[in-house]
Structure 1
Amino acid sequence: MRLKVLVVSELWWPEGGGGVLATYFITKLLSEHADVTVVTGSRRVEPIRGVRFVFEPLLSVRAKPLLWVNLLRLAGRSYFIKLVRDADVVYIPRLAYPLIPIVKGFGRSCCSCS
């Protein structure tokens, strides 16, 4: 059985800078060994074969305080709760780290780079 990874990032390559590009390459490597789903606020994404992308408008805001309020709204959405429950690991590479205690509350492993 393959590992299931959920990536939650408000930006996705080609938006953003070096950190977003690094997340793209890490996800590309992960996708060779795991089933990966990315939830992002970017409409235009550089796809990765075998990776499922979910556009989430709540993540598309750029102001950090509003993003954090939106993260709490996202955490209550049934589709997002299902994604978290189905994942073995949740990777939060940028500013969505307020989701960490929520993800851990579901008993899931969580890693973050900010």
Structure 2
Amino acid sequence: MFTRKVPHSPKSDSERRRYPRVKTKVPVDLHCPGSAPMRTSTDELGLCGCYIETMFTIDIGTNLDLVFSLKGGPIRAKGIVATKYPQVGNGIDFIEMDPEDRLKLSESILDLEQHQK
């Protein structure tokens, strides 16, 4: 059986985050300046950020345009890469999102949390 190890900081996830993330696979299109668009999926999703799975990680500090494909329709956000784990993925903080998209994201996260219980 294959397991992956992701380095953790001494703080727990709940101590580091203002808003919890839900473990879910959501398709996302990433657009980095000067690079071809990339399609991947989330591993976790929250109101202020997400964790994406990608073999070819993106450098910390890179600005991104993201489009999430959720049941309620596409949600757009601008983000910045906060963490990088080679051959595993990236943590992304959202730095800009329209209020309507943030509301749709909040509703989607609540729906996902309810279905996981």
- For normalisation by structure 2, the TM-score amounts to 0.26
Higher relative contact order (CA 8 A, sep 6+): 1
Structure 1 or 2, whichever has the larger Rg, is: 2
Greater strand fraction, Structure 1 or Structure 2: 2
Greater helix fraction, Structure 1 or Structure 2: 1
- For normalisation by structure 1, the TM-score amounts to 0.26
